[in-house]
Structure 1
Amino acid sequence: MSADAGRVAVLGDCPLLRHGVARVLEAAGGPAFVLGAGSVDEVTAALEHGEALAGDVLLVDLRLSPGCLAEVVARLSGLGFAVLVLSSGPPDDARAALRAGARGCVSRRAGERELLAAIRLVADGCSYVSADLAVGAVPDAAPPCHVTDRERQVLELVAHGETDHGIAVRLGISEHTVHSHLDRLRDKIGSRRRADLTRFALTHDLITATSVPG
């Protein structure tokens, strides 16, 4: 998925959060921000009027009990939204949201880079859960394996939602070479999922804006 693909709506208690997400998406060049809502009824009305569409990523930031939040997630997922929940609760809260139909859960402690990566992964049909929501707080540590400079570049583009073809074009290499880099990275971290590659890179601070070729 390219950086300018997809649409994002935000359902949140805090107007400043909704405004902030819109600014982050604008500065990143996409996905497009299409709606900021303060209630589920506003989201439903926007869907009825075509301001929001089934398939849009819906970032949910509501201060509700886990049970009430799960009910909201189930309702919104049933309407066709790809729900991504912001959470500061324990891993059990994230699991409850995922069981209710959320595509992902992002920690409220996440930075802009992680939020954008999560949105792009969910928009592309993947799932994402912040490391501290999945396994508890992750201490600062060196990565458990060596990652080359080229692998860092590949990880950066994966986190930005690029396809294998897009990575090949950006780096000036063949898709076969991209596949080789990804295979080595997946062997190193022990997972085949792009969401896990992104989470690994973010957790160990392996990617920076300057690592992406212009």
Structure 2
Amino acid sequence: MTIRVLLADDQALIRAGYRMILESEPDIVIVGEAVDGREAVDQARTARADVVLMDIRMPGMDGIEATRRIAADDDLAGVRVLVLTTFEDDDNVMLAVRAGASGFLGKGAGPDDLVRAVRTVAAGDAMLSPRAARGLMDHLRARPEPEAATPESLATLTQREREVLTLVAHGLSNDTIAERLFLSPLTAKTHVNRAMSKLGVRDRAQLVVIAYQSGLVRP
């Protein structure tokens, strides 16, 4: 399967670097470039991208707002946003995840990390760099917001879905979850998808936030 990628960054040199790295891969094609958030949203609609590489700090509409608009558009339900930024602090990570980003990677990451992140996000999994993951946990620890997901909302989940949600929150992949719970990978993926549907989220990164904010998992 070919992964269609849209590059959104206001710096031409950075976009050129991403293009060079990603187009060297046989399964990735660049379908467009955007210089600000508004253009990223427009091109996400027209270029049929699978993944948008989104910078946070751009003129006009920033990457957080662009991510929020993409995530809120039912016509773009298949589009995943991978945020790449110089600023991996906890507030940026939380804002990106809440906006609907499926991944968060620092611009200091190596080429192999970038390619891996694009493939991970395109496959429907969450991708947080170690530093971003620590930032997210620090934010949740310092500023818990349990109203974002109450115990009542978790009551819609089956016991198995709650178990799977807990393992997702600890960063386990579908394959590892399947091994841990003696399930097939397809069954594990089905439980993850059902949990996302019941909780009204579109990817694993937001499941992680719900698991911690609801108290199901403690930071």
What band does the TM-score fall into relative to the shorter chain? 0.5 to 0.7
Q: Match of 2:172, as an amino acid?
A: R
Q: 2:33 aligns with which of 25, 36, 44?
A: 36
> Using a 3 Å threshold, how does the CA distance of structure 1 residues 6 and 195 change in structure 2: closer, same or farther?
farther
Q: Aligned residue for 1:211? A: none
Q: Aligned residue for 2:6? A: 9
In 2, the alpha carbon distance for the partners of 1:20 and 1:195 equals 32
Q: Aligned residue for 1:92? A: 91
Structure with the higher fraction of residues in helix conformation: 2
Q: Does 1:119 align with 2:118?
A: yes
In 1, the alpha carbon distance for the partners of 2:103 and 2:83 equals 6
Give the Å deviation of 1:59. Answer: 0.4
In 1, the alpha carbon distance for the partners of 2:171 and 2:56 equals 31
Give the Å deviation of 1:47. Answer: 4.6
Gaps of 5+ in 1: 137-189, 197-214
Q: Aligned residue for 1:166? A: none
Q: Aligned residue for 1:56? A: 50
> Using a 3 Å threshold, how does the CA distance of structure 1 residues 44 and 87 change in structure 2: closer, same or farther?
closer
Q: Match of 1:19, as an amino acid?
A: A
Contact 1:18 1:36 in 2 (8 A): yes
Contact 1:11 1:62 in 2 (8 A): no
Range with bigger deviation, 87-96 or 7-16? 87-96
SS in 1 for 2:114: helix
Q: Aligned residue for 1:192? A: 172
Q: TM-score, normalised by structure 1?
A: 0.56
Contact 1:104 1:129 in 2 (8 A): yes
Q: Aligned residue for 1:24? A: 21
In 2, the alpha carbon distance for the partners of 1:87 and 1:195 equals 29
In 1, the alpha carbon distance for the partners of 2:54 and 2:8 equals 5
In 2, the alpha carbon distance for the partners of 1:107 and 1:10 equals 15
Contact 1:87 1:94 in 2 (8 A): no
In 2, the alpha carbon distance for the partners of 1:123 and 1:61 equals 17
Q: Match of 1:87, as an amino acid?
A: T
Gaps of 5+ in 2: 136-169, 177-219
Q: How does 1:24-173 map to 2 (within 5 A)?
A: 24-47=21-44, 50=46, 52-53=47-48, 56-63=50-57, 69-79=63-73, 80=76, 81-89=79-87, 90-135=89-134
Paired-residue identity, %: 30
- Matched residue pairs, number? 138
In 2, the alpha carbon distance for the partners of 1:71 and 1:193 equals 28
RMSD: 3.0
In 2, the alpha carbon distance for the partners of 1:26 and 1:99 equals 30
